[in-house]
Amino acid sequence: DGGITQSPKYLFRKEGQNVTLSCEQNLNHDAMYWYRQDPGQGLRLIYYSQIVNDFQKGDIAEGYSVSREKKESFPLTVTSAQKNPTAFYLCASLPRREANYGYTFGSGTRLTVV
Amino acid sequence: QKEVEQNSGPLSVPEGAIASLNCTYSDRGSQSFFWYRQYSGKSPELIMFIYSNGDKEDGRFTAQLNKASQYVSLLIRDSQPSDSATYLCAVISYTGGFKTIFGAGTRLFVKA
């Protein structure tokens, strides 16, 4: 079955540490997205990518970085510059960026600073 | 003013009743509207989308859109305890470029 796989499900980060969240899709979708969800807030866009080797900042990109070396993969790195990284991170995809469809979401990664 | 507003709830309804969830949006350039269901600790899943004014029905779910009044609603008929979740409204705006904006969600609790 096609879908999006996110790993790990839970991740603990120490102060000053960089961590990378994995997102892999087998839907053959061109567009991929990273969202952050905090309690009581809507999903906020971190980064998105429309094609391989291209990505754009979203509304809250500071302290994050991404790469898109393969169509299937869109990993997110949470750097030490992100001062409040504890949140639920969601990877999503669309057939193409302008597609007028709802997102397919991965199962999410819950990141906690320890 | 938030771009997409939802009552945070919780909205509590008895089993078998109709649950009515509402969402308002500020951008008149918005064209597409989505409802996602999110169970606690899980990721959102798409349950309905609507593009045109009026009603759209899918099983026990009905989405209603009124672009003039800038609101979209979701009705859940014959509510079940398994419908207890947070419902997220999402709006695609084309003003200033293609952008999806999410509301913070409404928590629904269906009492058995």
pLDDT tens by residue, B86-98: 999 999 987 777 7
Q: How many CB atoms lie within 10 A of CB B8?
A: 13
| DSSP string computed for A26-50 | -S--SEEEEEEE-TTS--EEEEEES
CB contact under 8 A, B8 and A40: yes
**Shortest Cα distance, chain A CAs vs residue B104, angstroms:** 4
Confidence of residue B54 (pLDDT cuts 50, 70, 90): very high
Interface of B with A (CB under 8 A): 4, 8, 31-32, 34, 36, 42-46, 49, 51, 88, 90, 92, 98, 100-105
Confidence of residue B2 (pLDDT cuts 50, 70, 90): low
Q: How many CB atoms lie within 10 A of CB A46?
A: 26
**Is A42 an 8 Å CB contact of chain B?**
yes
Confidence of residue B6 (pLDDT cuts 50, 70, 90): very high
CB contact under 8 A, A105 and B44: yes
CB A75 within 8 A of CB A89: no
Mean pLDDT of chain B: 94
Q: Is 70 exceeded by the pLDDT of residue A12?
A: yes
% chain A with pLDDT above 90: 79
Of A104, A97, A6, A82, the C-alpha closest to A38 is A82
Report, as an integer, the average pLDDT of B79-104: 91
